[in-house]
């Protein structure tokens, strides 16, 4: 590590605490971003295959201009009348099924999920929530309780029950198809029944529509539609966390449409403002009206004119640059490329995902599916040394995680695949 990096690290630890997370064995000092590229302090550029928040590209000039324009005109909270929030809300809600017709704004995905839990609890009169055993929905006290990813497999809170995330690659008892689906539905039923029998009662299910933090599994066909039906039959509501899945990341505007289920409440964040902090809860009118009637929800920054101008510019760029179609085309090209690489590199066990959310599971042995955890860590670091940023995820931290900014083009995909080939070939 050079002297400059070591000094920066020591300063950071002194000011932010020693546990503040950082990527890579040797952290990167980034000073500028443009499109799909990040530039380090030493002048080197890195192809960003990791960051989904700069959705339409780092520092997109149209988004920056919209931000600057509105910031120079007015920025104030939402307790005055203003068109921007309404114009944006109409555009946003038009992308959802008709029953999802009302929106509440916040600043982070955690806040959006926090309000979604409140709305579900308010509507049902119960507290109990089911989530998966390897998920992350955010960092508030309430949301932390439904985020066992960083807490192991224990039930984190008396109002929460976890169920196993649907894993088709390491399926329990070798189950597949309808039998696998039934297995996970039985797990959901058991979690619901436990809550219903407890003081908490059952308020609903919260899931990331594509199970991104679980390692982006191939969700068994029909599972989520059947799960949503069971949640409703038990009197609960379905919350789809689209903080990672949403805004066309998968090549479909919303992950729940891709996976095939209909939520009662949807939460949005990360890519919504291309890095500017704006998030939202989208739900049915009667749920939001009832909630607002009894709860004074106000968010000092949520939905302010600058945030809404930025979020609107993001939608403009997505449309103008046809980024959903690009996500489908380039994502499929990358997945096909990894499948071809699998013919030469036995460590590639499974290639998954949709659009520009790409997961590649690495194994020591394809037959036993022994996770190649340490190898994955090494590969991620070596890719960085060769100028490409990605990371890893999954139960065993052995899934390469790639979610590049959406203007990711064919030439970037080719560079990614050629570099992975080189790194895997080097052993």
Ligand X SMILES: Cc1ncc(COP(=O)(O)O)c(C=O)c1O
Residue nearest to ligand X (CB): 109
Near ligand X in 237-296, by CB under 6 A: 241, 243-244, 269-270
- Other Cβ atoms within 10 Å of 177 Cβ, number: 12
Written as six digits, the tokens of 163 are 């169920």
DSSP structure class, residue 218: -
CA distance 337 to 416: 10
- CB nearer ligand X, residue 270 or residue 384: 270
Near ligand X in 28-87, by CB under 6 A: none
114 part of the interface to ligand X, by CB under 6 A = no
- CB nearer ligand X, residue 46 or residue 136: 136
Write down the least CB distance from residue 247 to ligand X, Å: 13
Give the number of residues in contact with ligand X, rule: CB under 6 A: 16
138 part of the interface to ligand X, by CB under 6 A = yes
- CB nearer ligand X, residue 329 or residue 393: 393
Beta strands in 78-172 (DSSP E): 102-106, 128-132, 160-163
Give the chain's length. 427
359 part of the interface to ligand X, by CB under 6 A = no
Task: Give the range of 14-22, 208-216, 257-265, 413-421 binding ligand X by CB under 6 A.
Answer: 208-216
217 part of the interface to ligand X, by CB under 6 A = no
CA distances from 400 to 15, 28, 154, 157, 280 (A): 31, 19, 26, 31, 29
Question: Could you say which of 88, 105, 136, 211 contacts ligand X (CB under 6 A)?
Answer: 136
Write down the least CB distance from residue 302 to ligand X, Å: 12
Residues 45/37, Cβ–Cβ less than 8 Å: yes
CB burial of residue 125 (10 Å; 0-12, 13-18, 19+): exposed
- Number of alpha helices (DSSP H) and beta strands (DSSP E) in the chain: 13, 16
- CB nearer ligand X, residue 249 or residue 412: 249
Find the farthest-apart pair of alpha carbons in the chain and give their distance in angstroms, rounded: 62
CA distance 94 to 85: 14
CB burial of residue 62 (10 Å; 0-12, 13-18, 19+): middle
108 part of the interface to ligand X, by CB under 6 A = yes
At residue 43, what are phi and psi to the nearest 5 degrees?
A: 90, -10
113 part of the interface to ligand X, by CB under 6 A = yes
137 part of the interface to ligand X, by CB under 6 A = yes
Write down the least CB distance from residue 139 to ligand X, Å: 6
Task: Give the range of 151-159, 177-185, 206-214, 317-325 binding ligand X by CB under 6 A.
Answer: 206-214
371 part of the interface to ligand X, by CB under 6 A = no
- CB nearer ligand X, residue 357 or residue 396: 357
State which H helix or E strand residue 378 sits in: helix 373-385
Chain contacts with ligand X (rule: CB under 6 A): 108-110, 113, 136-139, 208, 212-213, 241, 243-244, 269-270
């Amino acid at each position: 590590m050079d002297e400059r990096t070591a000094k920066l690290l020591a300063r950071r630890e002194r000011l932010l605490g020693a546990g503040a997370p950082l990527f890579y064995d040797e952290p990167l000092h980034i000073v500028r971003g443009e499109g799909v590229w990040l530039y380090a302090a030493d002048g080197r550029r890195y192809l960003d295959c990791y960051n989904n928040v700069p959705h339409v590209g780092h520092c997109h000039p149209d988004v920056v201009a919209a931000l600057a324009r509105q910031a120079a005109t007015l920025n104030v909270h939402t307790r005055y009348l203003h068109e921007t929030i309404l114009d944006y809300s109409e555009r946003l809600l038009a992308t959802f099924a008709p029953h999802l017709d009302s929106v509440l704004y916040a600043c982070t995905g955690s806040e959006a999920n926090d309000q979604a839990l409140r709305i579900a609890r308010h509507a049902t009169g119960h507290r109990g929530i089911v989530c998966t055993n390897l998920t992350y929905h955010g960092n508030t006290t309430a949301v932390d309780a439904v985020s066992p990813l960083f807490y192991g497999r224990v039930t984190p809170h008396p109002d929460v029950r976890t169920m196993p995330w649907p894993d088709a690659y390491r399926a329990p008892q070798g189950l597949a198809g309808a039998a696998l689906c039934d297995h996970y539905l039985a797990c959901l039923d058991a979690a619901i029944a436990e809550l219903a029998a407890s003081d908490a009662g059952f308020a609903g299910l919260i899931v990331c529509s594509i199970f991104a933090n679980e390692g982006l599994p191939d969700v068994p066909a029909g599972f989520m539609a059947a799960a949503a039906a069971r949640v409703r039959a038990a009197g609960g509501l379905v919350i789809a966390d689209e903080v990672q899945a949403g805004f066309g990341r998968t090549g479909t505007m919303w992950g729940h449409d891709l996976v095939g289920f209909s939520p009662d409440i949807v939460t949005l964040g990360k890519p919504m403002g291309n890095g500017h902090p704006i998030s939202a809860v989208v739900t049915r009118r009667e749920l939001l009206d009832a909630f607002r009637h009894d709860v004074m929800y106000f968010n000092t920054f949520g939905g302010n004119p600058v945030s809404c101008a930025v979020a609107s510019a993001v939608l403009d760029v997505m449309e103008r640059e046809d980024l959903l179609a690009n996500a489908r085309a380039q994502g499929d090209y990358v997945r096909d490329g990894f499948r071809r690489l699998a013919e030469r590199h036995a460590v590639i066990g499974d290639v998954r995902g949709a659009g520009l959310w790409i997961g590649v599971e690495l194994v020591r042995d394809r037959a036993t599916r022994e996770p190649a955890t340490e190898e994955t860590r090494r590969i991620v670091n070596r890719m960085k040394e060769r100028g490409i940023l990605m990371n890893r995820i999954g139960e065993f931290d052995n899934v390469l995680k790639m979610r590049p900014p959406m203007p990711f083009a064919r030439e970037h995909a080719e560079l990614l695949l050629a570099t992975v080939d080189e790194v895997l070939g080097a052993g």
